[in-house]
Amino acid sequence: MLVGSFGAAACGGDDDEGAEATAEATTAPSGTTEETTTEATTTEEGPPPITASEERWVREMNEVRREMTRGFHQTRVYTASTMARLAKTYSTCLRSLGRAGDPGRFQPAARVAERACKQFEQAGSMMERALAIEAAGMYSQADADRYNKFVERGLEGQGNAVNTFIQASTKARTIQEELSG
């Protein structure tokens, strides 16, 4: 009833009839003691579950990572045939990752994985350039220096790519944890 009176007074109504009409509109029916309140019910729902497509992307990305890093972890001596095999493997990284499909909400991890693939492909390219120098024959110290430079860049790029792929996997795991609750 106070609300009705306040509303009439706030509107500048001196008229008792206006105050009564407002009071009647806000008063519960006679004989009842219940007050009617309307509250917005909010429920905290988490994000939608990880989709099958997103799960497949994470699985495929990790498979590509394992395939690309296997050569790095298993190779102790880098011969011409080893570098040729690694360069060929590394050249497939982006295509293989692309076959994983749409990453959905794992897009931040996908960007990091794509960067790793580009690093692998550059490392493979450096190894191929070194192999081309070796195949042509090293007849001078300058040839040997160029060969060594490309081998070193290839190995460095390979190591950087491995580390970047680890970051991609870590990011994907973090996203999975956030989406799982």
pLDDT per position as a tens digit, 155-179: 999 999 999 999 999 999 999 999 9
User: What pLDDT sits at residue 31?
Assistant: 55
Average pLDDT, the chain: 83
Torsion of CA 58, 59, 65, 71, to 10 degrees: 180
Task: Name the pTM for this structure.
Answer: 0.73
| Domain ranges across the chain | 52-180
Q: pLDDT tens digit string along 94-111?
A: 999 999 999 999 999 999
* Nearest of 95, 98, 62 to residue 176 by alpha carbon: 62
In the 8-state DSSP scheme, what is residue 140?
S
Q: What number of residues does the chain have?
A: 181
User: What pLDDT sits at residue 44?
Assistant: 64
Q: How many CA atoms lie within 13 Å of 121's alpha carbon, on the beta-carbon side?
A: 13
In terms of pLDDT, which residue wins out, 43 or 121? 121
* Nearest of 100, 111, 98, 109 to residue 177 by alpha carbon: 109
User: What pLDDT sits at residue 33?
Assistant: 53
